[in-house]
Structure formats: structure tokens, C-alpha cells
Amino acid sequence: MACHLTLREREFLDRLWEKGLTKTKIAELLGRHHSTISRELRRNSRQGEYRPERAQQLADKRRRKCRRPRKLDDAETHAYVRERLEKRWSPDQIAGRCRRDFPRQRSRWLSHQTIYRWINEKSPRWKAWLRRGGRKPEKRGKLAECVRIDGRPEIINRRRRYGDWEGDTIVGKGRRNALVTLVERKSGYLRMGRVDSMKADATRQVAVQQMKNLPTSLRRSVTFDNGKEFAEHERLGASLRVEVYFALPYCSWQRGTNENTNGLVRQFYPKGTDFSRINHDDVARVETLLNERPRKRLGYLSPSEKLEKRLSCI
């Protein structure tokens, strides 16, 4: 999923467009696809004039219109759930019974998570009616003292330098093991290692091992997913001397390079793969294959070739 343009990006686009730069050149400077810039100017210009503040307002208005209505905003569904909460039914019982009462109306079906979320966000007074006062949030392994992506410098956001990475795990069968994937944002270069446990210390050790032999000019920052396996991010940052950031929850598009690369890795290791049966040599083989695969956004150079050109200039 593509990331929406920010107001700051729209202001930068406006200045470049005023200077007469082409859409392709503006896209390159913003680190965006040229079609994103073309679509932005086409949809948000009025009478041939582009104004960033107005463009932001128009984009926000479209997003609000596209939002799917919440099921519990429906009056009948709201009444159905409320009536049963008053009878001290649990959210799981309400969700299960809903499927029996409306077997042919899937639009009326609810999950127990939806009901819990509605109680927590909209109607906390109902917590007292639950058998255990609602589910308590899990504290084990939560990310602490982390810097979110909105605190990340613009030079990283615009892909104007090498050495900024994105990281994630590709989870194996039963969540017992995984691959740690680290992708350099500008070149798409991949570092990947197998981890035999989803624990934070094991994940940190593999990530450090994959990056520690890189030149310092290629170790500037890394932006991770919100998985609890990255709970030791402070130790990782200190070991590698890199800045560590985290994408917002449920915003995988904020690590688009990493997400796309993980999709390529899944061509070799589909979901359900037991990585304990995959040896380290095979993981290294797949890493090499992907690093030597040409990419359109690199002018059909491979990530390895792109990075080699950078290293030859150092």
C-alpha cells in the first residue's frame, strides 16, 4: 500500500513545480513514483493552479469519504450487542450467537475483537459488565522507549542517502522461527538471516550479525516493524551505532521497501514454511539471488550493482 503524500511533501512539490521541473524529476527528488506526482497534480489542482494547503484538504476529504463504516455504528447492530451485554453475555458469546441468528446476513456478523475494541474506545462503561472487566493489555515484550517514524529526519524519508534500512521478520510455521530481513532503502539491498526463536534477544543477535560488517557509511538508521521481537532495539542501536525508528502500528506501508522485498522472499519460502528445516546456506543463496535481480526503479541495475557503485565512490 502506497503512503499518502504529506503536507510538507506537497509544499516541496509546489516549489519544484513552480520552478518548472518535470514530474519525473520531482518524483525522483521526493523519492516517489512519477505516477504519484502526476495523479497528485491532476486530482488536486483547480483551474490549472496547485496549492498545497488546498490539496491536503481535498485529499483528507476523500479519505474520510472512503472510510468503511464501523459495524457497531449501525443502530440495529448496536442495539443487538447492547441488549446482550446487559444480560452479562461475553463478547465471544455475542459474536458466536450473531452467526446463528443471522446465518445468511454475513454483514451482520461481528468478531469478539470488534466488540472489545468498541467497548475500549467508545463505551468503556461496559467494562464493568464483563466477567473479567475486559481483557487486560499484554505487557510482556512491549516496545519501550521507541522513537516513532514521525520523529525520523526528512533526509531518511526522501531516500537522499545510503545507509538507512528497514527491518522485519518473516514468520515461519507456528511462529516458532523466522527470517530477519533488513533492506537498504535507497538500493534495495537485502541482508537476511535465520532466527530459531522469536524472542527479542535472538532477533537482536541475528540483526547485529547481518549488519555489523557493513561500512559505517552504510549503517545510519533502521526502521522496524512493531513486533515484540524487536523489544531489544536499544541494545541493537548501541551495538551497531545506528538510529532506530519504528513504523506506526498497522502501517506496514511506512516500510514499503521492506514489505515489497518480503513478498519477493515469499516466492522462495511460502507461508507455512518451517525455517528450522532451511539451512543457512540456502538462506544466503536466496539473498544473493534477490540482490542480483535487476529492478526497474534502479534503471534495471541490481541492488548489488547499485551498492557497488556507491562503495566505489567512498
> Cα(250)–Cα(236) distance, rounded to whole angstroms?
23
Q: For residue 178, what pLDDT is reported?
A: 95
User: Which pLDDT score, from 0 to 100, does residue 172 have?
Assistant: 93
What integer pLDDT is reported at residue 283 of this predicted model?
A: 96
CB-count exposure of residue 147 (10 Å: 0-12, 13-18, 19+):
middle
Asked if residues 141 and 237 have their Cβ atoms less than 8 Å apart, the reply is: no
Phi and psi at residue 292, in whole multiples of 5°? -100, 5
Residue 133's pLDDT is 52
The pLDDT tens digits of the residues spanning 130-163 come to 755 544 444 444 576 688 888 888 899 989 899 9
What's the pLDDT at 134? 47
Per-residue confidence (pLDDT) for residue 68, from 0 to 100? 59
Which positions of the chain have pLDDT values less than 70? 1-3, 66-69, 122-125, 128-129, 131-142, 144-145, 312-314
Q: What is the pLDDT of residue 128?
A: 66
Per-residue model confidence (pLDDT) at position 69: 62
d(CA 181, CA 38): 32
Classify domain 149-313 by CATH number: 3.30.420.10
Cβ–Cβ contacts within 10 Å for residue 98, how many?
21
Give whole-number Cα distances, 312 to 190, 294, 299, 306, in Å.
19, 19, 18, 10
**What ranges do the domains of the chain cover?**
7-66, 71-129, 149-313
**Phi, then psi, of 224 in degrees rounded to 5:** -105, 165
Q: How would DSSP label each residue in 19-69? A: TT--HHHHHHHHT--HHHHHHHHHHHEETTEE-HHHHHHHHHHHHHHHSPP
pLDDT computed for residue 138 by the predictor: 45
